[in-house]
Structure 1
Amino acid sequence: MKNLHNQRGAVLVTAMVILALLTIIGMAATNTSMLETMISATERTHSEAFYAAEAGVDHLRRNFKSVFLDKNMDKFAAGTDPDWDFALEGPDEIFNSGDDATGSTYLTGSRWITDGNLSGNYLYNVTVWDNDDGGTSGNEYRDDTDGIIYLRADARVPGGGSSSIEILMKGAATGGSALSGYGAQEGGGAGKNYGANDVDTVDASFSSQIQ
C-alpha cells in the first residue's frame, strides 16, 4: 500500500485559482453583455431621433407646396422665376405666430415649426434661411433671388437622443413638381450625419442631388 504524499494544500490552491478564473470570465461576459445592450439602446435612440428629424423636414416641405404655389401664382402667370420670400419672411407674416428671420444664418432664420410632436415626446423644430444669393441691400435675408433656401430640422427624443437634418430646397417653374428637394440626408457629403454635430452647411456635391 502506497503512502499518500503530503501535497501541502496544492489541491486547494489549484481549486481556488480555477474558481477565480471562472469568476473573472463570468464577470467579463456580463460586462460585455451589458455594454452591447447599452450600445444597442444608444443606436436605437439615435435612429429614432434621425427619423423624427426626417419627419420634421417632410412636414414643412409638404406644408410649403401649396403655399409656394399660391404665393408665386402671379410669377407663374408672368413666366418669371418664383421665389421663397414668403418662407424667409417667416410664419408671422402668414399666421401671426412663430419666429421670423433676422438674418441669413441657421440661428437667425425663420422658425416655422416649434416642438412639432411626432408621437409622445418625439419633438422637432424646423427652420429655414436664405443662401448667399445677394438680394436687396439691407434685406438680403428675406430676398430670395435664385429659388434656393436652406431647411433644417432639429429633433429630440426620449432618452436624450437628438438629430439634425439639413437640406437645400429649390422651387422652380418647371415641368413636374414645382417644389423639389432631397428628403433625406443620405449622400449629404462629409460632416453630415445623424449625431446633431454636423454644424457645417451642405456641400456642393449635395446640392446637385436635389435639382
Structure 2
Amino acid sequence: MKTILVADDDVHIRYLVKKLLMKEGFQVIEAADGAEALKLLHNQICDLAIVDIMMPVMDGYKLTVEIRENFDIPVVLLTAKSQIEDKEKGYLSGTDDYLVKPFEPKELIFRVNALLRRYGKVMESNIRIGSMFINKKSYEVELNGKTYILPLKEFELLYYLASNPNQVFSRGQLIEQVWGMDYEGDERTVDVHIKRLRERFSKTSGDFSIKTFRGIGYSLEVQK
C-alpha cells in the first residue's frame, strides 16, 4: 500500500484529500504545517507528498526544497495561487506538479497515480528508509553521512528485505530471491548474513531493525 503525506493547515482540505486518497486505496498521513510534515517524513516512509503553499512555520516552497534535498519522492503543490509567477516559484522549488484550488477530485487522483507510475520506473533502484539510502546501481548504502560498500550477498539480502519492509520471509524464500533457485548450500547461510548485517547497522540506525520470527524467518521492521 502506498503512503501519501498531505500537508495543509486547512483541516477541511486535509479531510477532503485524505478521504479521496483512502477511497483509492492509499494510506494517508497528515501534517498541519511544513515543519510537522518534515518530521513525519524523517520517521515514516512515504511515496508522495501533497503540499499546500501557504502554511505556518514552514511554507510549501521551503518544504518542497527540503523534500527534494533529502527524499526521493514526488511532490504535488496544492494551492490557491494561480499566477504564473507562483507556479514558476513552485517548479523552481522542485515540485513535480501543481494543482490550483478548487480542484476536481478526479484530477488530483489522476496526477497522483501518474507521478507514482513515473517515479516507480525511475526510482526502482533506490530505497530510502529513514536516514538509510540504498543505491542498487552503485551497490552502496549511505547511513548517517557514511557510505558502506557491502559484500554482494549481504547487499542483495538487505536490498530485498528493505524492498519489502515489515514482511516476513522464510529462509527458503530469501535463498531463492538472493542466492537463486539453483543454490545447493545450507539455508543457515541466511542466518550468517543476517548476523553480519545486524553487526553493521544495529548500533548506527534507529530507523529499522532486522527481526527474527522464531520458526518462520526474518523481516526488516521499520520503526514508526
For this structure pair, what is the TM-score category when the shorter chain's length is used for normalisation?
A: under 0.3
Q: TM-score, normalised by structure 1?
A: 0.25
**Higher Rg:** 1
State the structure with bigger RCO (CA 8 A, min sep 6), 1 or 2.
Answer: 1
Q: TM-score, normalised by structure 2?
A: 0.24
